Amino acid sequence: MTPVPIFLEVNGERIDTHVLPRLNLADFLREHLKLTGTHVGCEHGVCGACTVRLNGEIVRSCLILAVQAHEGSVETIEGLSDSGEIADLQAAFRDRNALQCGFCTPAMLMAAQDLLKQNPEPDREEIREHLSGNYCRCTGYQAIIDAIETTARLRAERAP
Amino acid sequence: MTRTPENRDAFSVLDRPNSYIGKTVPRPNLDRLMQGRGQYVSDIELPRMAHVVFLRSPYAHAKITGIDAAAAKRMPGVIAVVTGQEIAPVITPWVGVLSHLKGLKSAPQSAIAVDRVCWQGEAVAAIIATSRAAAEDAAEHISVAYEELDAVTDMQTALDPTTSVIHPALGDNLAFERNHDAGTVDAAFAASDEVVEAEFIFGRHTGVTLEPRSVVADWNSAEGRLTIYQGTQAPHMVQNIAALHLGLQESQVRVVCKDVGGSFGIKVHIYADEMATYALSKLLRRPVKFVADRVESFNTDIHARDHRCKGKIGVKCDGTITAFEIDDLTGIGPYSMYPRTSAIEANQVVNLVGGPYATKNYRARARVVFQNKNVMCQYRAVGHPIACSVTEGLVDLAAMKIGMDPVEIRRRNLIADDAYPCASPSGLRFEQLSHHAALAKLIKMMDYDALRAEQTTLRARNIHRGIGIASFIEVTNPSAAFYGVGGAKISSQDGVAVRLDAQGAVVCQTSITEQGQGSESLTAQIVGSVLGVSMDRVRVILGDTDNTPYGGGTWASRGAGIGGEAALQATKVLRKNILDVAAAILQSSSGELDIVNNNVVNVSDSAPRIELSELARIVYFRPDTLPPGIQAELMATRHFVPREYPFAFTNGVQASWLEVDTDTGFVKLLKHWVVEDCGTIINPQLVDEQIRGGVVQGLGAALFEKCIYDERGQLTNANLADYLVPMSGEMPDIDVGHVVSPTLESELGAKGAGEAGTAGAAAAVTNAVNDALSPFGTIITEIPLTPQIILTALGRI
């Protein structure tokens, strides 16, 4: 196998590199770029722990090849944290203890922010439904649902 | 009943101004996890690090007649291929037995199989390469010749004379048997108005930690020292075992445990592939990393709860329960796990059945058998879900038989709240439980009568909802009675060191570990409260055998109760030492001074006298200004282990409200309630979240989770698409309430809370399903309660 050239933006930074065609995006982010906030839980697209944004949409980075991100824009939990985009969501997770081991959390935040962008005032059932592709083994989900509900309410109150 | 401590002074240390005890404060370590800046073992990379992949047996039981790795060794990036025979000189085999479990036997287990494999998934060879992908590529080029042997898969026939014996040297497939007989069981059954029997079947399931088991082993041959980075609950146990089998001193092994992506008891054992990884690092003189993939996790992480338990209950028409009897059978795979053994779960079932109830008549038999399936061992709430489901299932059956409400029969039989201290028929000693107060609170929280009315109304519309109640007891704060007395080098005590640094902040080193429960937070809360400093000044260090006191770690709901008390006692000493120095500096007496909000203050008028940062400056940089003879000791260490009671039992009760679709067999969970009593509550939010998370793991067992083996011992659903775990859309909201009966064995008074949720959830759900289906005259005593099980019971398929 011969490495192929790709260039893409990751968290706003231009990356110009070569990768093996078989390399998945999760391994590319973790092993090549050392962005270890993206976690690998099942490697077959079920647990959701590897969720990142590709061109604005959330994807399972274990099911996407790095070469498929060529000329694209990837955002990871490190990028969303540094930009402050989800600071309020993270604060709500902290206040509600909506994480225990934290392994699912970066992806859970990704999925939650995706929901709130699509549907600013989701009810609990809608939140539960949207997160159904993100496994959490510690919390039992209720605290996560509460934190997202709180964030939605606070954002609605802040909206002009 | 909330008990008032007899010695109020003993609690004053927790009642100080600005105390964090009993308050919800955010955990200090959350931001790094939320920002993707945690460090799990799978994130660790070291210079010259190689990756190991294990080639695993496709057979449940087979002779290995040859391994040809020549082609694999020629593959790009491959550093070595190591077989069981080749690794044997570096690491010795082990046998998972404990002397206090009389008669428990097992066979020697090797890091990598030698000559024979005993379950599908046992490692046959290790491939070490420059990347995991390269190692996986090479694994496909190893040719192993197997001669398939008979696989023992059905535990019900494992002891038949015609069944082959997995380890011939052991004589039979019986690993352990325990019999217990208390009171006058036969007479009690004879005097009963009704005797009800049932067989309860539990699906084998597993923990599914979202981060698979991971280890980086780094043997530094120049230092003669092995550093193990591992997501483990018990670093000192790993240190001891690694040293023992690698022929090292414990001082040559350091275990570092940073962030852990879920544990639940899965990561408290010693696994063969982890032992192999330590040995490979020593053999290859470089860091070696092993990260299990999800298929490996299903095939090698311990499984649990594969039990079939026959139960019998006697009852009188007035609701008095006269006796319990059980006969439990469990299959544990081919080896008893090391070092905690695989007999503990069955032993716990014997201990716990009937535990909440007053009857003294109890007979039990438990048999633990070998099979050619993955190993089974302790997972969150060890034995409790079995014991609780059997007990509470029998109690509901008895109530049904005599036409009594399930709440009423419990009211008439639960041990009275003023009966303590007392002992269970299996010999467990209870210091103080609160079954009746908990049940009363639960009934109020759920508005039981209103739910019953709603149930009746909906039944008329052919909607079948059910209520299930389950009282339980939980083993927490284990002393040496759990493992130490059986010869295992697993510490039952924990230690904490606290010191004031040169700017008046506090560094605290504790031997308990963090896997998300909040160990770091509760330690900081206790230290901050007892010392009189704000939590932001307390930094907690854990998970490093080089940098913490010696101790057990976090398992069996022991972190808060044991590690928390050690933190309290160490901080009391530090506080006294600080006040002694302050008295010398201020020409006062330590009795006239206190520490409040980072300042030494007068007891009399609370006036600030000296900031801790100033005191620390004087002690560390200008000790020459202290009076002669004063040597400050701004560091203190204390250890704690419970001595009076072998275990601090907690209690609680759960209720489930659900709807069964009798056409599809699907169960919809509508609501779940828990009332539990873990003694002193350090952080209410953390306790509630432990309960909720535990309940959901129990709900997974009740409805979804099962490792499905075929008759040849092949695990057929070893992936997350086919093995179902609870998802957010299916889980109910869970209301949690508390009764508080502190243990008087410690000043802190805290008992454990981590397993209470898992203990009773499945029992509550099963009872609720049977309640919902009562118009159909069907009783189900098997979990998971899949649509297939329910429709079969209803005669629909």
Q: Does residue B2 surpass a pLDDT of 50? A: no
CA B599 to chain centre: 40
Chain B residues lying within 8 Å of A78, measured CB to CB: 35-37
Q: What is the pLDDT of residue B190?
A: 98
Q: Which two tokens stand for residue B581?
A: 């120095």
- B27, B293, B725 ranked by CB distance to A135: nearest: B725
* Bridge pairing between strands A73-75 and A51-54: antiparallel
**How far does the CA of residue B197 sit from the closest CA of chain A (Å)?**
34
Q: Is A105 on the interface with B (CB under 8 A)?
A: yes
Residue in B210, B525, B727 to test binding to A, most A beta-carbons within 10 Å: B210
**Whether A101 and B43 lie within 8 Å, measured CB to CB:** no
Q: Classify the complex by whether its ipTM is higher than 0.85, answering yes or no.
A: yes
Q: Is A76 on the interface with B (CB under 8 A)?
A: yes
Residues in chain B: 797
Q: Is A101 on the interface with B (CB under 8 A)?
A: yes
b (16+ CB within 10 A) / e for A96-116:
bbbbbbbbbbbbbbbbbbbbb
Q: What is the pLDDT of residue B14?
A: 78
Q: Is A93 on the interface with B (CB under 8 A)?
A: yes
pTM greater than 0.80 (yes/no): yes
Q: Is A83 on the interface with B (CB under 8 A)?
A: no
**How far does the CA of residue B472 sit from the closest CA of chain A (Å)?**
20
* Bridge pairing between strands B422-423 and B429-430: antiparallel
* Cβ B69 vs Cβ B78: under 8 Å: no
Distance separating alpha carbons of residues B40 and B606, to the nearest angstrom = 45
Band of pLDDT at residue B17, cut at 50, 70 and 90 = confident
Distance separating alpha carbons of residues B691 and B695, to the nearest angstrom = 6
Distances (CA, A) of B575 to B497, B531, B593: 13, 6, 11
**How far does the CA of residue A129 sit from the closest CA of chain B (Å)?**
5
Q: What is the pLDDT of residues B484-542, one digit of tens each?
A: 999 999 999 999 999 999 999 999 999 999 999 999 999 999 999 999 999 999 999 99
**Whether B36 and A141 lie within 8 Å, measured CB to CB:** no
**Whether B210 and A137 lie within 8 Å, measured CB to CB:** yes
Q: Is A38 on the interface with B (CB under 8 A)?
A: yes
Smallest CA–CA distance from B720 into chain A, residue: A46
**Whether B720 and A135 lie within 8 Å, measured CB to CB:** yes
Q: Is A73 on the interface with B (CB under 8 A)?
A: no
In DSSP notation, A30-95 reads IIIS--TTS--S-SSSSS-TTEEEETTEEEETTSSBGGGGTT-EEE-HHHHHHHTTTHHHHHHHHH
Task: Residue B717: count other Cβ atoms within 10 Å of its Cβ.
Answer: 14
Chain B residues lying within 8 Å of A133, measured CB to CB: 727
Portion 49-68 of A in contact with B at CB < 8 A: 49
Neighbouring residues of B147: CB distance < 8 A, sequence distance ≥ 6: B62, B63, B65
CB pairs under 8 A between A and B: 172
Chain B residues lying within 8 Å of A76, measured CB to CB: 36
**Whether A97 and B263 lie within 8 Å, measured CB to CB:** no
**How far does the CA of residue A62 sit from the closest CA of chain B (Å)?**
13
Q: Is A10 on the interface with B (CB under 8 A)?
A: no
Q: What is the pLDDT of residues B734-778, one digit of tens each?
A: 999 999 999 999 999 999 999 999 999 999 999 999 999 999 999
Chain A residues lying within 8 Å of B733, measured CB to CB: 124, 142
Q: Does residue B549 surpass a pLDDT of 80? A: yes
Average the pLDDT over B116-133 and give the result. Answer: 98
- A47, A97, A103 ranked by CB distance to B40: nearest: A103
Average pLDDT, chain B: 96
DSSP β-bridge partners for residue B495: B639
Q: What is the pLDDT of residues B190-202, one digit of tens each?
A: 999 999 999 999 9
Q: What is the pLDDT of residue B641?
A: 96
**How far does the CA of residue B721 sit from the closest CA of chain A (Å)?**
6
- B33, B727, B728 ranked by CB distance to A145: nearest: B728
Smallest CA–CA distance from A85 into chain B, residue: B35
**Residue B291: φ, ψ to 5°:** -125, 115
**Whether B40 and A49 lie within 8 Å, measured CB to CB:** no
- B34, B211, B515 ranked by CB distance to A109: nearest: B34
Q: What is the pLDDT of residue A160?
A: 73
Neighbouring residues of B51: CB distance < 8 A, sequence distance ≥ 6: B128, B129, B130, B131, B132, B134, B135, B288, B289, B290
Percentage of chain B exceeding pLDDT 70: 98
Band of pLDDT at residue B1, cut at 50, 70 and 90 = very low
State chain B's maximal CA–CA distance in angstroms.
89
- B211, B515, B516 ranked by CB distance to A39: nearest: B211
Smallest CA–CA distance from B293 into chain A, residue: A42
Chain B residues lying within 8 Å of A47, measured CB to CB: 210, 720
Q: What is the pLDDT of residue B16?
A: 83
Smallest CA–CA distance from A34 into chain B, residue: B43
**Whether B36 and A77 lie within 8 Å, measured CB to CB:** yes
Q: What is the pLDDT of residue B623?
A: 97
Distances (CA, A) of B704 to A85, B190, B338: 37, 39, 28
- B208, B689, B720 ranked by CB distance to A97: nearest: B689
Q: Does residue A146 surpass a pLDDT of 90? A: yes
- B30, B294, B733 ranked by CB distance to A99: nearest: B30
- B36, B133, B689 ranked by CB distance to A81: nearest: B36
Q: What is the pLDDT of residue B6?
A: 44
Smallest CA–CA distance from A145 into chain B, residue: B728
Q: What is the pLDDT of residues B345-401, one digit of tens each?
A: 999 999 999 999 999 999 999 999 999 999 999 999 999 999 999 999 999 999 999
Portion 113-132 of A in contact with B at CB < 8 A: 124, 127-129, 131-132
- B38, B39, B720 ranked by CB distance to A44: nearest: B720
Name the packing angle between helices B564-586 and B519-531 (round to 10°).
30
Q: Is A158 on the interface with B (CB under 8 A)?
A: no
Q: What is the pLDDT of residue B3?
A: 41
Percentage of chain A exceeding pLDDT 70: 100
Smallest CA–CA distance from B380 into chain A, residue: A138
CA angle B776, B781, B782 (to 5 degrees): 115
In DSSP notation, B676-695 reads EE-BS-S-HHHHHHHHHHHH
Average the pLDDT over B82-87 and give the result. Answer: 98
Q: What is the pLDDT of residue A53?
A: 98
Lowest mean pLDDT among A1-15, B8-22, B671-685: B8-22
Q: What is the pLDDT of residue B657?
A: 98
Give the residue among B498, B41, B481, B30 at the shortest CA–CA distance from B238: B41
Q: What is the pLDDT of residues B562-584, one digit of tens each?
A: 999 999 999 999 999 999 999 99
Q: What is the pLDDT of residue B757?
A: 97
Q: What is the pLDDT of residues A41-74, one digit of tens each?
A: 999 999 999 999 999 999 999 999 999 999 999 9
Q: Does residue B600 surpass a pLDDT of 60? A: yes
Chain A residues lying within 8 Å of B262, measured CB to CB: 100-101, 103, 137-138
**Whether B262 and A134 lie within 8 Å, measured CB to CB:** no
**How far does the CA of residue B627 sit from the closest CA of chain A (Å)?**
47
Chain A residues lying within 8 Å of B689, measured CB to CB: 97, 100, 139-140, 143
Chain B residues lying within 8 Å of A132, measured CB to CB: 727-729
Q: What is the pLDDT of residues B469-484, one digit of tens each?
A: 999 999 999 999 999 9
